[in-house]
Amino acid sequence: MKRKRSFNTALLTTILASVGAILIGLFIGYLLLLATKSEYAFWGLRKILTVGISDPKKFAKVLYQAMPLICTGLSVAFAFKTGLFNIGATGQYTVGAFFALFAGIQLQLPWYVAIVFAMIGGAIWGSIPGICKALFNVNEVITSIMFNWIGVFAVNMAFQNFPMLVVDYWGKSSVRDRTPALADANPNAILPKLGLDELMNSNLVNIGIFIAVIIAVIIWVILQKTTFGYEIKACGYNRDASRYAGISAKRNIILSFTIAGALAGLGGGLYYLSGTGQYTFLKTLLAAGFNGIPVALLANSHPIGVIASALFISYIQVGGDALQPRFVRENIDIIIGVIIYVSAFALLLKIWFGKLFMRQSLAASSMKDDGPIQTPQKGSMNSNEKEEKQQ
Amino acid sequence: MIIGDILSATLIFAVPLMLVALGGMFSERSGIVNIALEGIMIVGALAASLFLRYVDDMGYNPDYTQLYVLASILIAGIVGIIYSQLLAFASIKLKADQVISGTALNMLAPALAVVVTWNIQGTAQTTVLIPSWVRISQESLGIAGDNILIRFLFKSLFLTTPIAFILLLVSIFFLYHTKTGLRLRACGEHPQAADSVGVNVYRMRYLGVGISGFFAGIGGIAYTLAAGSGFTSTVAGYGFLALAVMIFGNWKPVNILFASFFFAFFRIISFYSNSLTFLPTFDNLASSEYIYLIMPYLVTMIILVLTSKRSRAPKAEGIPYDKGRR
């Protein structure tokens, strides 16, 4: 009985800490709106919070932007589970996008093969920081940052060395600063829409979002139900202890980073195989990879939580677009920034909430003898208990 | 003359790298990983360029132009200190993950800059133009002539360049020849030992992060002046590059000086790669300028891997100091 309650409290406090971080972020965002154009501040807040579901078209956009965010969020979260910080998701995302478009356009392969290419590309890029960390003990954060830039530059150069991958080859445009639209280059490489486009009146939505969700579930199963997942987490909790238990930390670091890279690469693949965005050759890093970090933090690195937090981040971003031109959309980035800043010391919030709950549940048990409250959820809790024993 | 131009451009881009890398060095030597350098550069540059813009709009005394620049540099440094204290507060007081709170500050800064400029300068006007009088010209110092040395010095000289070298000397002196410098280094190597002889580890770490904020803020305006097209809410990854410079320089001031020139040189070579005849042209490769852009990162990686055994990274960096823990 005691064990059940502690598990539930832990989950609840985790969720509450995230919600707390979100509320603080939104509150500061609101203050910012008040400070800049106070008469429209409430209008702005309402826009941020409601536009995402105001009509199917907007909701389609939420799903469309959430799709790569789920992947990069999973990527960061998976590395976190091994105690590694994957700040290189944006590089892996870019390389994944290149591999996907290379398969789709240069090799004229269908979308499902292009997706696999994307994952391979991301995995290669992700494995490098993993190898450097495991074999040479070079800090993975530094390696990832370096390989973000190397990735962007290498990808830009690679694109421009394959004439088919530049838009002017296809005759629709004379510029050379982006990749061609997939509709011209290879319609087979576009992710199927399964009629979702007509349902939501938007060409942004496709099966990519389902792929992302399925992958999230698979990652959850791997982490929660397999020996490999257990080893990964053990490495994250205490590397020395896990080595003592016979787990190869080196192997797990490399594998974890490779999988994280594959996930981020998948995000890039899904986004650019949607057929709605063309990759532009810019000398800057793509924000999509960096936004995986708040997604993972907000979800406390839980794969299923990542789905929710990616949807949330995408949702307020769509809301932020509706603020223009009265407010600048970067207000949303400030909100997201504040949310990560706060969740960086979420541990503190968690302890704080935990204390609050302890006190409450103590008070409740002393009053009610704790029987009736627990019974309704018995089935689900038994499985939780099993999980804990397994670990 | 192109050699003079290249050397001059190298110098002017090496300055922000060196400043920011020195800043990062102080923070890491005190035990705090400061990945927020990029963000601090942005807020510093934002404040300083808004100040310069304001002076230009209000009317300025042509005799005192460099005094205004000096004031803007101080403003950049002070704003950098203030912003860096957000990192210090989270990672020292609240014992948060330093890399994550640094990342948060990096995401916050460009957004903040866009919001501020948008609100000050009006809708969609997010570029803060830098007035042309900030440059130190050859004429203003009364020097005539045109040779490699003069080109090197005066092609694009700003007050940030001499100040950066003064700060470099001050850093060396502070770090190796003062009591506080020694204590700061001790906090990055073995905070428990430092604490046991009465050093206030928390205060030293606040100081380290504060210095890094000062340097990075100045580095931000130095970069903006060097870039020449005004402040556009970004420093184009120079904060991250500076981290690489710091590691490449093995957390030592003099090595950082050389490392920053090395990085800046490759950066500039990539701009000039088409007009330099002695460079390999990679005829069968399109857009070969990217090779030169990749080079500094790749060389750093190779060096990091090769020297990982001898890396002199501060031992306690990244670990929150807890008095109760042994």
Contacts of A153 in chain B (CB under 8 A): 290, 293-294
Residue B181: the pLDDT is 95
- A155-159, A239-243, B30-34, B311-315: which has the minimum mean pLDDT? B311-315
Residue A1 in this model has a pLDDT that exceeds 60: no
Range of the domain at B105: 2-310
SS3 label, residue A178 = strand
State percent of chain B over pLDDT 90. 50
Over range B272-295, report the average pLDDT.
73
In Å, how far is B178's CA from the nearest CA of chain A? 30
Number of Cβ within 10 Å of residue A292's Cβ equals 33
Query: Hey, are the CB atoms on B103 and A325 less than 8 Å from each other?
Result: no
* B78 located within any domain: yes
Please check whether residue B49 lies inside any domain of the structure.
Answer: yes
Mean per-residue pLDDT, A83-107: 93
State whether residue B61 is helix, strand or coil: coil
With 70 as the cut, is the pLDDT of residue B277 above it? no
For residue A210, is it within any domain?
Answer: yes
The residue with greater pLDDT, B270 or A53, is: A53
pLDDT confidence band for A369 (50 / 70 / 90):
very low
Measuring CA to CA, which residue among B127, B97, B99, B132 is closest to residue B114?
B127
Number of domains in chain A: 1
| pLDDT tens digit sequence for A271-327 | 999 988 889 888 888 888 888 988 998 888 899 999 999 999 999 999 998 888 788
Q: What is the pTM of this model?
A: 0.86
Q: Do A132 and B305 touch (CB under 8 A)?
A: yes
- CA B283/CA B294 separation, integer angstroms: 18
Comparing A212 with A169, the larger pLDDT belongs to A212
Confidence of residue A167 (pLDDT cuts 50, 70, 90): confident
CB contact under 8 A, A150 and B297: yes
Number of domains in chain B: 1
Q: Over chain A, what is the mean pLDDT?
A: 85
User: What pLDDT score was predicted for residue B1?
Assistant: 63
**Residue B323 resides in a domain:** no
Q: What's the average model confidence in pLDDT over A49-63?
A: 90
- End-to-end alpha carbon distance in chain B: 61
Inter-residue contact B27 to B171 (CB < 8 Å):
no
The CATH number for B272's domain is 1.10.3470
Q: Using CA atoms, how far apart are residues A383 and B150, in angstroms rounded to an integer?
A: 77
The predicted structure's pLDDT at residue A196: 80
> What is the band of A172 on the pLDDT scale with cuts at 50, 70, 90?
confident
pLDDT at A55 over 90: no
Query: What's the whole-number mean pLDDT along residues B42-68?
Result: 91
Residue of A333, A335, A342, A349 to mutate when probing chain B, most B C-beta within 10 A: A333
Question: In chain A, which residues have their Cβ closer than 8 Å to the Cβ of B286?
Answer: 157, 160-161
Residue B263: per-residue pLDDT: 86
For the cut 50, the answer to whether the pLDDT of residue B187 exceeds it is yes
pLDDT band at A391 (very low <50, low <70, confident <90, very high): very low
A181 is a domain residue: yes
How is residue B17 written in tokens? 């790298």
Tell whether the model's pLDDT for residue A109 goes beyond 50: yes
Judge whether A179 lies within some domain: yes
Q: Is the pLDDT of residue B149 over 80?
A: no
Lowest model confidence (mean pLDDT) among A39-53, A58-72, B69-83, B198-212: A39-53
Under 8 Å between Cβ of A176 and A167 = yes
DSSP annotation of B316 reads: T
- Give the Å distances, CA to CA, from B46 to A28, A378, B51, B141, B270: 21, 57, 9, 29, 27
Nearest CA in chain B to A144: B301
Q: Which residues pair with B231 in a beta bridge?
A: B128
The residue of A160, A284, A301, A328 whose CB has the most chain B CBs within 10 angstroms, and thus the best one to mutate to test that interface, is: A328
Q: What is the pLDDT of residue A363?
A: 64
The pLDDT value recorded for residue B242 is: 92
Query: Which residue type is seen at B220?
Result: G
Residue A381 lies in a domain: no
The mean pLDDT of A267-274, rounded to a whole number, is 94
CA distances from B36 to B190, B223, B237, B316 (A): 23, 16, 11, 18
CB B41 within 8 A of CB B235: yes
Q: Which residues contact A36 (CB under 8 A, 6 or more apart)?
A: A327, B115, B119
Domain that holds residue A24: 2-375
Contacts of B105 in chain A (CB under 8 A): 337, 341
Determine the distance in angstroms separating the CA of B105 from the nearest CA of chain A, rounded to an integer. Answer: 7
CA B167/CA B246 separation, integer angstroms: 16
Is the pLDDT reported for residue B213 higher than 60?
yes
**Is B319 domain-assigned?**
no
Q: Residue A12: inside a domain, yes or no? A: yes
B100, B112, B313 member nearest A297 (Cβ):
B100
Whether residue B257 contacts residue B18, with contact meaning beta carbons closer than 8 Å, is answered with yes
Q: What is the largest CA-CA distance in chain B?
A: 66
Query: Can you give the CATH number for the domain in which A95 is found?
Result: 1.10.3470
pLDDT exceeds 50 at position A152: yes
User: What is the residue whose two structure tokens read 């305006």?
Assistant: B221
Amino acid residing at A201 = N
Of residues A279 and B149, which shows the higher confidence score?
Answer: A279
Does residue A9 form part of some domain?
A: yes
Residue B231 inside a domain? The answer is yes
User: Which whole-number Å values give the CA distances from B165 to A50, A267, B215, B269, in the listed order?
Assistant: 53, 45, 12, 23
Query: Which residue of chain B is at minimal alpha-carbon distance from A328?
Result: B115
Q: CA-nearest residue of chain A to B309? A: A136
Asked whether the predicted pLDDT for residue A54 surpasses 90, the reply is: no
CA distances from A88 to A92, A95, A142, A148 (A): 6, 11, 9, 6
Give the model's pLDDT for residue A290.
83
| Per-residue pLDDT reduced to its tens digit, B78-109 | 999 999 999 999 999 888 888 889 989 998 99
Residue contact A337–B236, C-beta within 8 A: no
Closest approach of chain B CAs to the CA of A256, in angstroms?
A: 19
Q: Can you give the pLDDT at residue A99? A: 96
Q: Which of B18, B140, B125 is nearest to B69 (CA)?
A: B140
Helix (H, G, I), strand (E, B) or coil at A14: helix
ipTM: 0.87
Percentage of chain B beyond pLDDT 70 is 94
Can you tell me whether residue B319 is helix, strand or coil?
coil
